[in-house]
Amino acid sequence: MAVTVSADGYNLIDAMDDDSPWSGVTSDVTDFYKEGSQCVGFTMTSSGNNDVSRSVTEDLSSTPCIVRFWFMTTSLNELNTDANGGIQVYLSDGTNTGYWYAAGSTTYPGGWYAVCVDVSQAVDAGTKPTSMNAITTFGIRINLTSAPKKTENVWIDHICVMDGLIAYGDDGGGYFDFSNIQSAVDNTSNGWPVMSESYGIYFLSCSLTFGDASGTNGCKFQAKSQRVVFEDRPSIGSNNYVIEIVDNGTGTTEFILGDKSGTAAIQGCLLSVEDSSQTAKFTLDANTDTDVDNFKMYASTFYGAGTIKFANDATNVEVLGCSFEACAQVEPDDCDTEACFFINTSDADAALLWNESISITDCGFFANTTGAGIEMPSAVGSPYDYD
């Protein structure tokens, strides 16, 4: 079967295939776009706030509710900073209008950029609509420090609400990896504003689910020597970057990072945050779905992650030669864990949560000053006694 990549928690607000619903000086642009067959171009003319909007009928009351869109501007010198609301999303229920700061010159790198903001959070300006389930106006505000050239200078495509990506299947019978997922995102029939690639590094601002939880399909995923960065998006929050491994009990889900040659771990991956101080951490959960029984990680490094949960012990479950640096607590359960390093934990309790059925050998614990290296379980209901 082929690789299947789909959007999780998806709600389309505007595909930007028609400029007519939008206020301001607009045009249909067919020369370049991210999704469908066009984007919409805007001419921003003023120093200060430049607002464009359209009428909608939208329920945006979920938590989280991450609004996303592709954005590009040639007014890089005029675009205000993130802190000053260079790029904002605003919503109105007809009574109250709230403004959320999404991005700005601090983070905008030029070219197409996937803007995202969680509108379930508090507003940065204005008054949050009381009826978030009955939004009647959707708008984008561009704040400029000076008047730009009076020509088309902003382009927007594919406005949606979206939580993340779901990936399963195989690549012609073989394994797929992050490049296959990126190819699906880049396909103009999808064009989801959640992921990009630059110089071989994959940048994400969403969650990832591996496996077909509700069907019968299998999943053959193996990434070798790839790097994934979860972006520093303050508006995303701390719990909305999740790597989840699921299995339906019929089709087998294989999740592998790196490779193994004999007894040696090789070709590992690097999964990291953009900045160790960022609020939006990523977590990995291979333990909640008890059907997961083919989970392997080799020579891979996790940097700045939140909680990491390994799969339960099985024939095809092992973690070998991996490093966990500046991460929250790792919960190995009874997964075979060997020759790993736990460094500078960010967890106040400990880098690793011990348990009575743990299977761990030749691991090292270094520079764990925020919390201890190992947290032991309670003596209650366990074989351990403590003085």
Share of the chain above pLDDT 70, in %: 97
Tens digit of pLDDT for each residue in 345-359?
999 999 999 988 899
Instruction: Round to whole Å and give the CA distance between 304 and 326.
Output: 5
Beta-bridge partner residues of 79: 144
Hey, CA dihedral for 78, 82, 85, 90, is it positive or negative?
Answer: positive
Q: Of 207, 208, 210, whose CA–CA distance to 236 is shortest?
A: 207
Q: 356's torsion region: left (phi>0), alpha (psi -120 to 50) or beta?
A: alpha
Q: Which of 37-41, 51-55, 184-188, 378-382 has the least mean pLDDT?
A: 378-382
How far from chain centre, in Å, is Cα 69?
14
Examine the pLDDT at 377 and tell me if it is beyond 90.
no
Structure tokens at 15: 């595909």
Name the nearest CA neighbour of 253 among 290, 224, 225, 204. 290
Contact 214, 248 (CB under 8 A): yes
Give the number of residues written for the chain: 387
**Range with the poorest average pLDDT among 146-155, 161-170, 300-309, 373-382:** 373-382
Q: What is the mean pLDDT of the chain?
A: 95
Tell me if 368 sits within 8 A of 343, measured CB to CB: yes
Give the contacts of 47 (CB within 8 A, at least 6 positions apart): 78, 144, 145, 146, 147
What DSSP character marks residue 181?
A: H
Helical residues (DSSP H) of 152-227, grouped into ranges: 178-186
Residue 312 has pLDDT above 60, yes or no: yes
Q: Tell me the C-alpha distance between 12 and 5, whole Å.
A: 17
Which of 23-27, 158-162, 376-380 comes out lowest in average pLDDT?
376-380
Is 14 strand, coil or helix?
strand
Class of domain 10-161: mainly beta
Identify whether the C-beta of residue 178 lies closer than 8 Å to the C-beta of residue 186: no
Q: Dump pLDDT digits (tens) for 283-310.
A: 999 999 988 989 999 999 999 999 999 9
The C-alpha atoms of residue 86 and residue 64 are separated, in whole angstroms, by 23
Split at pLDDT 50, 70, 90, the class of 223 is very high
Nearest-angstrom CA–CA distance, 273 and 284? 13
Q: What are the CA-CA distances from residue 194 to residues 98, 184, 190, 202, 385 (Å)?
A: 24, 11, 11, 11, 49
> Is the distance from CB of 69 to CB of 103 less than 8 angstroms?
no
pLDDT of residue 313 exceeding 80, the answer is: no
Residues 201 and 286: their CA atoms lie apart, in Å, by 24
Whether residue 98 is predicted with pLDDT greater than 60 in this model: the reply is: yes
**Which pLDDT score is estimated for 252?**
92
Domain residues of the chain, as ranges? 10-161, 164-375
Measured over the CA atoms of residue 373, residue 378, residue 383 and residue 385, the dihedral's sign is positive
pLDDT band at residue 385 using 50, 70 and 90 as cut-offs:
low
Q: Decide: residue 109, CB within 10 A, 0-12 exposed, 13-18 middle, 19+ buried.
A: exposed
Question: Which one-letter DSSP state was computed for residue 234?
Answer: G
Nearest alpha carbon to residue 45 among 155, 152, 156: 152
Write out the H or E segment, with its range, that includes residue 357: none
